[in-house]
Amino acid sequence: MDNNLNFEKYADLIVNIGLGLHASDKLSIRMSEPSLALARLVAKKAYQKGVSDVRLDFSDDTITLDRYLHAPDEAFEIYPDYQVDYSENLFKDGYHVLNLYAPNPDLLKPADPARIAQWQKVAGKAVKRIQHYTMQNEVKWCVTAVACPAWAAAAFPELSEEEAMQKLWDNIFMATRVDQPDPVAAWEEHDHKLKAHRKFLNDARFDRVHYKGPGTDLMVGLVKNHVWEGGSGFSQKGDRFFPNIPTEEVFSMPDADRVDGTLRATMPLSVRGQIVDQFHFTFKDGKVVDYNAEVGKQILDDLLDMDEGAKRLGEIALVADNSPISNTGILFKNTLFDENASCHFALGAAYSENLDGATERSEEENRKLGMNNSLIHVDFMVGSKDVTVTGIKEDGTEIVLLKHGDWQI
């Protein structure tokens, strides 16, 4: 596979489909060292499109880990105001956001979990005032992946570094349809299919969704004026973009007070540079009332302790098990990929686009309608070929949506 050609096609896809950039747009790229080559190529193509400015916000895994290991305790007690002010000023000035995601799933394994939890809580509270810019699509935003040695080693531990990196890039290019002759045309076709599922679900006006499978028997109420989204979205100015590349999901808003039963995760969860595995939740009246994990229970303890909304669901997403990423049979240990191989939920904040009229109401008014709010939004995977998903209308009519891994609609 010609990596140089695919890098060019990948950058084109990000600029033209992922972010839908136009002349005079402005772009902020969030990245780490492994993403630099792709960031440069994206910036070049963005400028060639007429984008007026590209900003780079750089982070480094080594420095991040050293901070957790060696910085004094007070370093984790205050989030610098200037960092939030900087981001807010970029948003106010109309900058769109690209996150070139090159994760190390085990980065913070050596770190003190209490420090991680403390910093997440402090940072979450600090950035809450700017979450609405992306959660409400006030700007265009896109998250996409970049291969790095640590991620490749976690996904393919049996291979050499060179072989693992090549295999990871091959799978990134496959999942993002960059390996196809015309990736843009392939994404337009894919978007059309996702929109067809979305239309069916929105027209059906289901009251609740039932998940049934090994270890899972969960009834999830939907907010009354819910909206199913998936594929491309639109900014508040009407510009089309894709929040995630890759994406295979159609998603909506659960009622934060109407979730009952037990579910078992079908994949490990990589969160905060740590792994949670073999875990389950039991819900009553929307709230987690019991849970456990064979690996990483302390991480779940800290997540659920973040705030009241962290114990409730903010997103329900349907993904066919028979999908390109799932069919690789690879556990990527990266939520961006694994969530697009499986039906999933998210604990924490809901997206306003999934509730009709949400942006015109206050947070308190939306919460009364069942919209969850929280400092976190953490996806975890529950789907497999053994899980059946059924939509149920207010009159009791049932329609099977997913069975044996395939869409039934």
* Burial degree of 170 (CB within 10 A; 0-12, 13-18, 19+): middle
The secondary structure of 316-378 as a DSSP string is EEE--SSSHHHHTT---S-HHHHGGGS-EEEEEPPPGGGBTTGGGS-HHHHHHTT----S-EE
How many Å apart are CA 80 and CA 87, to the nearest integer?
Answer: 12
Domain boundaries, the chain: 3-175, 183-407
Confidence of residue 1 (pLDDT cuts 50, 70, 90): low
Cα–Cα distances (Å) from 334 to 15, 203, 222, in that order, read 23, 33, 27
How many CA within 13 A on the CB side of residue 49?
A: 25
How many Å apart are CA 372 and CA 199, to the nearest integer?
Answer: 24
CB contact set of 84 (below 8 Å; sequence gap of 6+): 126, 127, 129, 130
* Burial degree of 285 (CB within 10 A; 0-12, 13-18, 19+): exposed
CB contact set of 162 (below 8 Å; sequence gap of 6+): none
CB contact set of 233 (below 8 Å; sequence gap of 6+): 137, 240, 241, 242, 243, 353
φ/ψ of 216, rounded to 5, equals: -125, 125
How many Å apart are CA 312 and CA 309, to the nearest integer?
Answer: 5
Amino acid, single-letter form, for residue 222: L
Give yes or no for a contact between 142 and 14, defined as CB atoms under 8 angstroms apart: yes
Most confident of the ranges 37-51, 340-354, 377-391: 37-51
Give yes or no for a contact between 91 and 130, defined as CB atoms under 8 angstroms apart: yes
Give yes or no for a contact between 338 and 381, defined as CB atoms under 8 angstroms apart: yes
Tell me whether strands 53-59 and 26-32 are parallel, antiparallel or unpaired: parallel
How many Å apart are CA 61 and CA 103, to the nearest integer?
Answer: 9
How many Å apart are CA 336 and CA 332, to the nearest integer?
Answer: 9
At 55 the three-state DSSP class reads strand
- 162 or 2: which leads in pLDDT: 162
* Burial degree of 48 (CB within 10 A; 0-12, 13-18, 19+): exposed
Predicted confidence (pLDDT) at residue 89 exceeds the cutoff of 90: yes
- Evaluate whether the domain defined by 3-175 bears CATH number 3.40.1830.10: yes
Residue 273 pLDDT: 77
Residue 150 pLDDT: 95
How many Å apart are CA 87 and CA 93, to the nearest integer?
Answer: 10
Give yes or no for a contact between 66 and 109, defined as CB atoms under 8 angstroms apart: no
Query: Over the stretch 263-293, which tens digit does the pLDDT of each residue have?
Result: 999 999 888 778 899 999 999 999 999 999 9
Task: Indicate the DSSP class of residue 273.
Answer: T
Number of Cβ within 10 Å of residue 378's Cβ equals: 23
Task: Indicate the DSSP class of residue 351.
Answer: P
Closest CA to 250 of 340, 167, 164: 340
Mean pLDDT, rounded, for 77-100: 96
Query: Over the stretch 16-54, which tens digit does the pLDDT of each residue have?
Result: 999 999 999 999 999 999 999 999 999 999 999 999 999
Predicted confidence (pLDDT) at residue 101 exceeds the cutoff of 70: yes
- 2 or 254: which leads in pLDDT: 254
Amino acid, single-letter form, for residue 144: T
Predicted confidence (pLDDT) at residue 394 exceeds the cutoff of 90: yes
At 2 the three-state DSSP class reads coil
Closest CA to 296 of 201, 193, 196, 378: 378
